[in-house]
Chain A
Amino acid sequence: MNISPIFEARGIEKVFPGVRALDGVSLSLLPGSIHALLGENGAGKSTLIKVITGVHRPTAGQLLLGGEEIHLSSTHDAIAKGIGVVHQERNLIPRFSVAENIHLEQLGGHALQPINYAELNRKARRWLEELQFDVDPATPVYELSVAKMQLVEIAKALSLQSRVLLLDEPTASLTSGETDTLFTILRRLRDNGVSLVFVSHKLEEVQEICDRVTVLRDGVNACESQPTAGLSRQDLVRLMIGRGENGGSWRKRDVAANPVALELRNVATAIGHRGIDLSVRKGEILGLYGLVGAGRTELAKAIMGRIAVTGGEVLVEGQQVRITSVADAIHRHGLGYVSEDRKTEGLVLPHSVLANAGIVIWRKLAGFLGDLSDAAVQRSVVPYLEQLEVKTPSLAQIVGNLSGGNQQKISVAKWLAAGVKVLIVDEPSVGIDIKTKAYLHDLLRDLANQGTAVVVITSDMPEMVALADRIVVMNDYRVQGEVENTGVYDTMSYAIMSLIHREEEVRAVEPA
């Protein structure tokens, strides 16, 4: 190919105090191409993105844009040169309108020149139309769904005339339908000559839309800007983790004889669930699949007593119960919930590993006067931390300093220590690399084998098929149906999607 790269990074090194995050990484982007950037957590992807977008300055190495060396001293610099980025975390001002968020960078050449909102909305509409995204530009963004906010961020990057656009895990919080829409948009941008960098942990997606790939491992290139054609999923995994993936770990587990651990009968909740029937047996892994907004997380919170159950029956081990608080759910009924949002709901990031892992059992361990010894907590939690292979220099380590995978392990360990009978795990592998994900799946399987009833909520279809014994499909706060997992991805995904689809057909017939 004779097309010259629009952007190149050559021999980038980045040294932080005590850590060499990047050690001579290279990457070259072609115009009109979608380039995958892969690597496990800690491999250096984020650092590389930050170097390319002007957040960090490289310790050594060159950045070339259109063949000329550039020096980026700020994010503003990168933006001005046409390097846009959609970060993993939402970077919008909630109270501002869609149009204002899109044009935040260019609100006016002059800080004291009044903003013309009509003009701003008109300009914004152009980018929204390009994305075929139907929203009033005057809407404040806090009224939008997560997926729509993401589209606003892409529109924002486009409005900067980005020639290079980096997308850091853009699909992490999207459903498969929303992902398809996003991909259509990305392909169109590619065809218009934009050079896209796509960061994702989902290899199916990478294979679907990326034409070239760079893999990082431990701060160096495991492969540099290779065409994806001819690389199989196994090849990619091998490049990322230096060994093959334990494929086909799903196996049939027979749990039909086990007693039911948790059952919902015709349950309704204060926020709109109606007629929810589901049950999970001891030792079973029940998958709860649905699109984002289907009400799965909310259902979990209702089971845990955070949201009021207004109708139907909840049975724990066959006994009808009324759970009115989370404390009740944990201590009286043995239910545990691993939040999808471990950073804000699951863990106390500034506290130590020991404090986080022990927090749910403090009440149980406290002595006569409410006193609590570290030794007692250690005795209870250390076995679980060891079982989960949590990698931490010490129990006093601050959890916020650990990797995402280790944080997730700690949020699981604390429930194991609490000895729960039913564990609900919400989006267990968001932001976790492949190796840790595999460990986590093994762990959940081990847990189930030891008799815990596990409910897994995930929007990641391959994960669902790899993990669940039975899959309950939800849509619009209702249960759509249930399928027995056969472990065969194609037939399962078809069965699940047709369950979700059935709803839409029914709804189309129903008068509005």
Chain B
Amino acid sequence: MVKSSFLSRLSRADWFGPLLAVLITVAIIRTFSPNFLSAFNIQTLLLAIAVNVLIAFSQMIIIAIGQMNLSVGAIGGLSAIAFAGMIEVWGVPAPYAAIAALLAGVACGVLNGVLISVTGISAFVITLATLSIYKGINLGITHAQPFYGVPESVKALGTAALIGPVPMLILPTLIAAAALWFLLARLPAGRFILAVGGNEHAASLSGISVRKVVILAHAISGLLAACAGILLVARLQIGQPSIGDDWLILSFAAPVIGGAVLAGGHVSVAATSLGVVIVALITQALVLFSIDPFLVQVVLGSLILAAVGINRLRQVRLASGRA
């Protein structure tokens, strides 16, 4: 067997490409806009990244089992208004409201997972349906009106700094990232998730309960989406019912840019996070250069295409390297 050199091993790592892209993007933007790395700009960037990484993780864990979850945004939105609503209408203390909202997210995820694994209907169809249901419940509760009664403690969390320009909101994201990495790389439960995505038949013949694994993955997805929703309430300072409406494309874009295999079995926490960073940088750059914000959508779409193309090239190279 040929021992691959350090550099070629590095170039095969999922995070290597995105990291390179991040550094290059920063360097380019920096030349054109010297104040890009100002404390304020970094803070704005990190605030966006903190929430978006959670959104991306929420989809990534479903991609890991080879499915998709169209309802991530609806779950996030429902949890967000549940959080704000419980505080405003029932006077529940914020920490308890947060826990209850997270549990609501888990419940939504579990419902997705149970429906998918019991009926055997594709995740696409089930989550398309539950997307509509969760969003409908959201609008039924709020009548599309925001909850404004977000307490000062929560608002303060949304603006507090951890150190220097690094916002407090990034803390839950860092914890989630570390926990997800540990789960997927070290814990049997996480390996089972990847095993089911890699070869469902083999996993089930190895005595892994595919049903439990699917439900677990969807529960985690719901938890992460709910967490993103709650953080957004803190950041926006209101319980906005439209939270989650624009999550879907990003949720797929970041894992794909991070080299996730959509058929399942292979995702990377680090590379997915870098995928979010790339999207945030480019969005920010377009704002800085006062380019039409509608172009952001076009750029995001092009990014997905480019990422898929690059992954495909890498696969072809891997395969021919073996022949």
Partner-B contacts on A (CB < 8 A): 55, 74-76, 79, 85, 87, 89-96, 100, 104-105, 107-108, 110-115, 143, 271-272, 298
Contact = CB atoms under 8 A, between A and B. Distances in A.
A96 B194 contact: yes
Nearest to B186: A114
A107 B192 contact: yes
Contact of A104 (B195, B201, B323): B195
B187 A114 contact: yes
B198 A95 contact: yes
Given A104-B208, A114-B186, A92 B199 contact: yes
A75 B323 CA distance: 35
B188 A91 contact: no
Given A104-B195, A114-B187, A95 B266 contact: yes
Contact of A143 (B189, B195, B322): B322
Contact of B202 (A76, A93, A143): A93
Contacts of B186: 114-115
A113 B205 CA distance: 22
A447 to B, nearest CB: 31
A110 B188 contact: yes
A143 B12 CA distance: 14
User: Which 9 pairs across A and B sit closest by C-beta, in order of nearness?
Assistant: A76-B207, A91-B202, A93-B198, A111-B189, A107-B188, A108-B188, A104-B206, A114-B186, A93-B195
Given A93-B203, A104-B191, 11 more contacts: A75-B206, A75-B207, A93-B194, A93-B199, A93-B265, A96-B191, A107-B188, A107-B192, A111-B188, A112-B187, A143-B1
Contact of A92 (B182, B202, B208, B320): B202
In this complex, the member of A55, A91, A100 whose beta carbon has the largest number of chain B beta carbons within 10 angstroms is A91
Contacts of A107: 188, 191-192
A100 B203 CA distance: 12
Nearest to B209: A76
29 contacts: A75-B205, A75-B206, A75-B207, A79-B206, A85-B205, A90-B202, A91-B199, A93-B194, A93-B195, A93-B198, A93-B202, A93-B265, A95-B194, A95-B198, A96-B194, A96-B195, A96-B198, A100-B191, A104-B208, A105-B206, A105-B207, A107-B188, A107-B191, A111-B187, A111-B189, A112-B189, A115-B188, A143-B1, A271-B320
Given A111-B192, A115-B186, A115-B188, A91 B206 contact: yes
Contact of B204 (A75, A85, A94, A115): A75
Nearest to B182: A114
B187 A115 contact: yes
Contacts of B189: 111-112
Contacts of B187: 108, 111-115
Contacts, number: 75
Contacts of B195: 93, 96, 104
Contacts of A75: 204-207
Contacts of A110: 188
Contacts of A271: 320, 323
A85 B207 CA distance: 12
Contacts of B201: 89, 91
A298 B199 contact: no
A74 B205 CA distance: 9
A105 B202 CA distance: 11
A16 to B, nearest CB: 18
A113 B183 CA distance: 10
Interface in B97-133: none
A123 B182 CA distance: 22
Which of the listed residues A87, A95, A105, A271 has the most CB atoms from chain B within 10 Å of its own CB?
A95
A143 B4 CA distance: 12
Given A79-B207, A104-B208, A115 B202 contact: no
A491 B180 CA distance: 62
Contacts of B182: 114
A75 B1 CA distance: 35
Given A74-B207, A107-B188, A94 B322 contact: no
A94 B188 contact: no
Interface in B281-323: 320, 322-323
Contacts of A115: 186-188, 191
Contacts of B207: 74-76, 79, 105
Interface string B155-196: 000000000000000000000000000100011110110110
